[in-house]
C-alpha cells in the first residue's frame, strides 16, 4: 500500500474554465420552487373545494365530522397519488432540476404521505358511515365494497398500493432483489388506475362543477401522458433513432469492463459527461431488465463508453457482450453535470466504481492547472489510472490518488493518507474548498462521510452535487 504525501494544491492559473454564471443552476432552482408552489396550490385548491362544500361545517358533528375528515384525506391522497406518478415519469424539466435520486426521494416521501392519507380516508369514511361506531366499521366496509359503485376496483387498487408500500419499507426492501422490488412496484400504476371509477362515480368534489372536472381530468391526463411519452415512447424512439450497438468490451481490471458503443446522430441524444442511462442489451435472456450505468467518457457525438463493475448477474453479463449487440436505452438522466456548476473551480471526489462519471467530468472540466482537483479513492487496483494520469499531464487537472483500505468507520479516506483527519487532508488538497463546486460519487455510507466533511469545511449545500449508485 502506497503512503500518500500530503501535497498542497498549486495556485490556480489562467482564466476560469467556465464563467461562474450558474444560470442553469438558478433556472433549476426556480423550477424546483415552481414545482413546490404548484403542488401546494393543488392541495389548497382541493381543500378549498372541500371547505366550500360544507367540509368545515360538517366537522361540528361526530359522524359527519368523521366522514368530512375522510373526504378531505381522500382528496389530498388523490392529488399526491397523481403527483407521485408525475415525479417518476422522467419528465426532462424535473429530471434536470431535481436529479433522479432527488425525485426518487421526493417520490418516497409523497408516496408514504399519500398512502397514509388513503388509509385515513378509508378508515374515517367507514367509521362515519357506521354511525361513529368503531365496532360496526368492518361490517360497513364490507357492505360498501360490494354495494357502492366503483368501490370493488378501489379495494383492489388499495390492495395493490398496500403491496407496493409494504415492499418499499426499508427493512423489506433490503431483503428483495432490485428486479423483484421493481416488478412489484409496477403494481402502483394498476392501483392508481383502479381508484379512478370510485373517484368519478362517488366523489362529489371530483365532478361537482366544470372547474373541478377539468382539474381532475387534467391531472389524470397529464399523469397518463407523461408516463406514455417519457417512459415508453421517447426511450423507444431514441433507441430506434440512434441504433446503438456494442463495438468493444475492454477489461479494466478489478472485475470491471468498459463497453464501447457507437450509433447514429449521438450528438442529438443530448448526453453529457456525468450522466447515466438505463441500458438494455439485446443479447438474450434478461434483456428486459434495465440497469443504470454512468458514462465513463465524455460523449463526442459518435461514441459512448460505460464502465461496469461485476456486482451481480446483470453486471457480470456485461463482460460477455459481443460486438454488434443492439442496445435499448432510457435517458440520459442525472444532474451530476456541468449544468449544476456555479463556480469556476471544481473538486471531484470519487470512490470505487463511483469514479466513472467523475472520469467523464474530468475530461470535460480540466482546462489548466489548479482549477480542477480529482480525489480518487480506491482499495485495490484503481480504475482509469493511465487515463487520469494522462489527463493530469496534458490538461492540468490535479490528481490526488487515495489508496488503501478505509481507515475506520468514521473516515472516508484510506490508510495511505497518514495521521491527519479527513478535513485537514481535504483542505490541504483544495484550500479554497468552500468556493468550489464539489461533485461526489461513491458507495452510500462513504458518500455520507464525505458530505459530513464538506459541511464541516463550510461548502454550501448548493455547491455539492452527488450521484448515488443505489436504489
Ligand atoms: C444512477 C446510477 C448509476 C450507476 N452507474 C454505474 C456505473 O457507471 N458502473 C457500475 O458498475 N455500476 C453503476 N451503477 C450500479 C449498477 O446499476 C448496479 O450495480 C447494477 O445494476 C447491478 O445489477 P446486477 O444485476 O449485476 O446486480 P444485483 O445482484 O441485482 O445487485 C447488486 C447491487 O446493485 C444494486 N442494483 C441492482 N440493480 C439496480 C438498479 N437497476 N438500479 C440501482 N441499483 C441496482 C442492488 O441493490 C445491489 O446492491 C449505477 C447505479 C445507479 C443508480
Please give the distance, rounded to the nearest whole angstrom, from the Cα atom of residue 287 to the centre of ligand 1: 15
Among 469, 470, 471, which is best to mutate for testing ligand 1, by the most ligand atoms less than 8 A from CB?
A: 469
Does residue 358 share a domain with residue 221? no
Does residue 271 share a domain with residue 197? no
Atom of ligand 1 nearest to the CA of 101: 1
Does residue 300 share a domain with residue 356? no
Please give the distance, rounded to the nearest whole angstrom, from the Cα atom of residue 265 to the centre of ligand 1: 27
What CATH number is given to the structural domain containing 448? 3.40.50.80
Please give the distance, rounded to the nearest whole angstrom, from the Cα atom of residue 332 to the centre of ligand 1: 16
Lowest-confidence pick of 37-46, 194-203, 266-275, 398-407: 194-203
Does residue 282 share a domain with residue 369? no
Among 103, 172, 178, which is best to mutate for testing ligand 1, by the most ligand atoms less than 8 A from CB?
A: 178
CB-based contacts of 384: which residues, under 8 Å, 6+ apart?
A: 252, 296, 307, 355, 359
Does residue 159 share a domain with residue 193? yes
Calculate ∠ Cα 360-6-457, nearest 5°: 70
Among 315, 336, 356, which is best to mutate for testing ligand 1, by the most ligand atoms less than 8 A from CB?
A: 315
Please give the distance, rounded to the nearest whole angstrom, from the Cα atom of residue 146 to the centre of ligand 1: 44
Does residue 345 share a domain with residue 310? no
Of 238, 257, 285, the residue at which a domain comes to its end is: 238
Does residue 294 share a domain with residue 152? no
Please give the distance, rounded to the nearest whole angstrom, from the Cα atom of residue 311 to the centre of ligand 1: 7
- pLDDT tens for residues 422-465? 999 999 999 999 889 999 999 888 999 999 999 999 999 989 99
Among 172, 290, 311, which is best to mutate for testing ligand 1, by the most ligand atoms less than 8 A from CB?
A: 311
Per-residue pLDDT band at 209 (split at 50, 70, 90) = confident
Domain that holds residue 389: 341-468
Judge whether residue 416 has pLDDT over 80: no
Does residue 258 share a domain with residue 218? no
Per-residue pLDDT band at 218 (split at 50, 70, 90) = very high
Does residue 180 share a domain with residue 67? yes
Does 18 map to a domain?
Answer: no
Split into its structural domains, the chain has a count of 3
Please give the distance, rounded to the nearest whole angstrom, from the Cα atom of residue 157 to the centre of ligand 1: 30
Q: How far apart are CA 51 and CA 268, in angstroms?
A: 50
Per-residue pLDDT band at 20 (split at 50, 70, 90) = very low
Does 17 map to a domain?
Answer: no
Q: Exposed, middle or buried, 63 (CB in 10 Å: 0-12/13-18/19+)?
A: middle
Of 220, 238, 256, the residue at which a domain comes to its end is: 238
Per-residue pLDDT band at 11 (split at 50, 70, 90) = low
Average pLDDT value for the chain: 89
Strand ranges, E, within 86-203: none
In this structure, are residues 68 and 129 in contact, taking their beta carbons and an 8 Å threshold?
Answer: no
- pLDDT tens for residues 68-125? 999 999 999 999 999 999 999 999 999 989 988 889 899 999 999 999 999 999 999 9
Of 196, 211, 238, the residue at which a domain comes to its end is: 238
> Ligand 1 site: residues with CB under 6 angstroms?
177-178, 276, 291-294, 306-309, 311-315, 353, 356, 467, 469-471
Question: Both ends of the chain: CA-CA distance in Å?
Answer: 32
CB-based contacts of 198: which residues, under 8 Å, 6+ apart?
A: 148, 149, 150, 151, 153, 154
Nearest-CA residue for ligand 1 atom 51 is: 469
Nearest-CA residue for ligand 1 atom 37 is: 178
Please give the distance, rounded to the nearest whole angstrom, from the Cα atom of residue 470 to the centre of ligand 1: 7
Secondary structure percentages of the chain, helix, strand, coil, to 5:
55, 15, 30
- pLDDT tens for residues 237-280? 999 999 999 999 999 988 899 999 999 999 999 999 999 999 99
Alpha helices per DSSP H over 175-258? 178-185, 187-202, 204-207, 210-226, 234-242
Q: How far apart are CA 170 and CA 69, in angstroms?
A: 30
Does 15 map to a domain?
Answer: no
Does 202 map to a domain?
Answer: yes
Q: How far apart are CA 128 and CA 364, in angstroms?
A: 62
Atom of ligand 1 nearest to the CA of 309: 11
Nearest-CA residue for ligand 1 atom 9 is: 308
Does 378 map to a domain?
Answer: yes
- pLDDT tens for residues 321-349? 999 999 999 999 998 999 888 888 999 99
Q: How far apart are CA 189 and CA 179, in angstroms?
A: 17
Q: Given this model, what pLDDT does residue 179 score?
A: 80
pLDDT above 90 as % of the chain? 62
Q: Which residue has the cell 459527461?
A: 273
Q: How far apart are CA 307 and CA 132, in angstroms?
A: 61
Atom of ligand 1 nearest to the CA of 467: 1
Among 304, 314, 470, which is best to mutate for testing ligand 1, by the most ligand atoms less than 8 A from CB?
A: 314
Nearest-CA residue for ligand 1 atom 40 is: 291
Q: Given this model, what pLDDT does residue 206 score?
A: 77
Please give the distance, rounded to the nearest whole angstrom, from the Cα atom of residue 56 to the centre of ligand 1: 49
Most confident stretch, 160-164, 259-263, 380-384 = 259-263
Does 147 map to a domain?
Answer: yes
In this structure, are residues 403 and 1 in contact, taking their beta carbons and an 8 Å threshold?
Answer: yes
Does residue 171 share a domain with residue 69? yes
Does 11 map to a domain?
Answer: no
Judge whether residue 356 has pLDDT over 50: yes
Please give the distance, rounded to the nearest whole angstrom, from the Cα atom of residue 391 to the centre of ligand 1: 27
Please give the distance, rounded to the nearest whole angstrom, from the Cα atom of residue 3 to the centre of ligand 1: 31
Average pLDDT rounded to a whole number, residues 284-293: 87
What CATH number is given to the structural domain containing 293? 2.40.30.10
Does residue 81 share a domain with residue 62? yes
Atom of ligand 1 nearest to the CA of 256: 11
Please give the distance, rounded to the nearest whole angstrom, from the Cα atom of residue 469 to the centre of ligand 1: 6
Does 178 map to a domain?
Answer: yes
Does residue 282 share a domain with residue 375? no
Amino acid at each position: 500500500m502506497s503512503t500518500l504525501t500530503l501535497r498542497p494544491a498549486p495556485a490556480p492559473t489562467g482564466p476560469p474554465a467556465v464563467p461562474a454564471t450558474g444560470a442553469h443552476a438558478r433556472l433549476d432552482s426556480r423550477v424546483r420552487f415552481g414545482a413546490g408552489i404548484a403542488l401546494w396550490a393543488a392541495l389548497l385548491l382541493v381543500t378549498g373545494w372541500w371547505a366550500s362544500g360544507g367540509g368545515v361545517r360538517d366537522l361540528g358533528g361526530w359522524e359527519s365530522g368523521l366522514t368530512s375528515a375522510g373526504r378531505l384525506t381522500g382528496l389530498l391522497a388523490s392529488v399526491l397519488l397523481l403527483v407521485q406518478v408525475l415525479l417518476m415519469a422522467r419528465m426532462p424539466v424535473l429530471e434536470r432540476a431535481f436529479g433522479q435520486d432527488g425525485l426518487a426521494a421526493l417520490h418516497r416521501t409523497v408516496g408514504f404521505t399519500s398512502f397514509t392519507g388513503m388509509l385515513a380516508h378509508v378508515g374515517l369514511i367507514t367509521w362515519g358511515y357506521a354511525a361513529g361506531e368503531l365496532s360496526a366499521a368492518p361490517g360497513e366496509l364490507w357492505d360498501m365494497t360490494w354495494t357502492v359503485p366503483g368501490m370493488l376496483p378501489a379495494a383492489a387498487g388499495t390492495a395493490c398500493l398496500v403491496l407496493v408500500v409494504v415492499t418499499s419499507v426499508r427493512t423489506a426492501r433490503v431483503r428483495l432483489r432490485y428486479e423483484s422490488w421493481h416488478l412489484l412496484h409496477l403494481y402502483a400504476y394498476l392501483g392508481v388506475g383502479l381508484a379512478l371509477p370510485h373517484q368519478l362515480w362517488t366523489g362529489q368534489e371530483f365532478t361537482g362543477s366544470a372547474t373541478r372536472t377539468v382539474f381532475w381530468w387534467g391531472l389524470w391526463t397529464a399523469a397518463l401522458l407523461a408516463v406514455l411519452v417519457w417512459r415508453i415512447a421517447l426511450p423507444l424512439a431514441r433507441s430506434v433513432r440512434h441504433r446503438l450497438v456494442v463495438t468493444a468490451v475492454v477489461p479494466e481490471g478489478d472485475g470491471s469492463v468498459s463497453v464501447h458503443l457507437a450509433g447514429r446522430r449521438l450528438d442529438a441524444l443530448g448526453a453529457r459527461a456525468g450522466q447515466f442511462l438505463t441500458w438494455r442489451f439485446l443479447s438474450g435472456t434478461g434483456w428486459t431488465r434495465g440497469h443504470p450505468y454512468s458514462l465513463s467518457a465524455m460523449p463526442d457525438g459518435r461514441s459512448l463508453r460505460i464502465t461496469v463493475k461485476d456486482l451481480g448477474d446483470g453486471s457480470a453479463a456485461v463482460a460477455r457482450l459481443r460486438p454488434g449487440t443492439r442496445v435499448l436505452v432510457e435517458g440520459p438522466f442525472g444532474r451530476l453535470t456541468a449544468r449544476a456548476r456555479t463556480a469556476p473551480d471544481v473538486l471531484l471526489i470519487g470512490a470505487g466504481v463511483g469514479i466513472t462519471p467523475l472520469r467523464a467530468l474530468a475530461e470535460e472540466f480540466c482546462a489548466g492547472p489548479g482549477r480542477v482537483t480529482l480525489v480518487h479513492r480506491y482499495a485495490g487496483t484503481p480504475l482509469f489510472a493511465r487515463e487520469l494520469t494522462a489527463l493530469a499531464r496534458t490538461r492540468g487537472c490535479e490528481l490526488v490518488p487515495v489508496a488503501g483500505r478505509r481507515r475506520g468507520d468514521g473516515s472516508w479516506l484510506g490508510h495511505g493518507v497518514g495521521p491527519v483527519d479527513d478535513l485537514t487532508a481535504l483542505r490541504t488538497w483544495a484550500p479554497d474548498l468552500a468556493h468550489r463546486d464539489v461533485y461526489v460519487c461513491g458507495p452510500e455510507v462513504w458518500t455520507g462521510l464525505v458530505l459530513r466533511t464538506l459541511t464541516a469545511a463550510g461548502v454550501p449545500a448548493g455547491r455539492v452535487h452527488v450521484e448515488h449508485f443505489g436504489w
